[in-house]
A = this chain, B = another copy of it.
Amino acid sequence: MKKPNAKERILETAAGLFFQRGYSGVGINEIIEKAGTAKASFYQHYPSKESLCEAWLKSVHEKSEAFAETLLGGPGSASEKAAAYFEHLERLLVESGYRGCPYSNTGALSVEKSPGICRQIRLHKESTRRRFRQIAALAIADPAEAELVGDTLFVLQSGAMGEAQNLRETWPVEVARRAAVALLER
């Protein structure tokens, strides 16, 4: 703790603010003020606000990947892994005040986002899709069928996060979890 350097402090502060209020809802001035740095220091480390957004999405992705790897590497059947994943999401959702998926929230802005931000979103989403396909492959022998089920889990998860955010309720996640388990145990 104590005092990480300015760059890390900026990233951590921005991560909290971007997540809670969205990329377009937070300004540079607030970020540097809460991070306790000067504006000049900010622009020494990040050429623009967009580049900070990219760095934020990248750091979220790394944490997400770490969780997915421990989950996939651990014990349990495919449906148990999927259920654990959805329960994890539900926990995050409630803890964060129903803030949903950072990537989807960022992607919902204008079309004219920077190519770098769009790329981070695609990378994360494709990676998540791959994870679900891996889980599905554990339970389903036919490769084509496993891919379809994996993609379905991916869509279910995304819809669950989005609608839980819109309605500020957890039932979409529970519904998605039950559907996922049913698909994997069939």
Binding site for B on A (CB under 8 A): 20-22, 24-25, 97, 99-100, 103-105, 107-112, 121-122, 125-126, 148, 151-152, 154-160, 162-163, 165-167, 171-172, 175-176, 178-179, 183
Contact = CB atoms under 8 A, between A and B. Distances in A.
A167 B125 contact: yes
A156 B180 CA distance: 11
A136 to B, nearest CB: 12
A74 B156 CA distance: 28
A86 B104 CA distance: 20
12 contacts: A22-B108, A103-B166, A107-B166, A125-B166, A125-B167, A148-B178, A151-B172, A154-B172, A155-B159, A155-B160, A156-B159, A159-B159
Contact of A22 (B97, B109, B152): B109
A108 B105 contact: yes
Contacts of A110: 21-22, 25
A111 B109 CA distance: 15
A108 B165 contact: yes
* Residue among A122, A125, A158, A183 with most chain B CB within 10 A: A158
A180 to B, nearest CB: 10
B156 A171 contact: no
A58 to B, nearest CB: 16
B167 A163 contact: no
A65 to B, nearest CB: 18
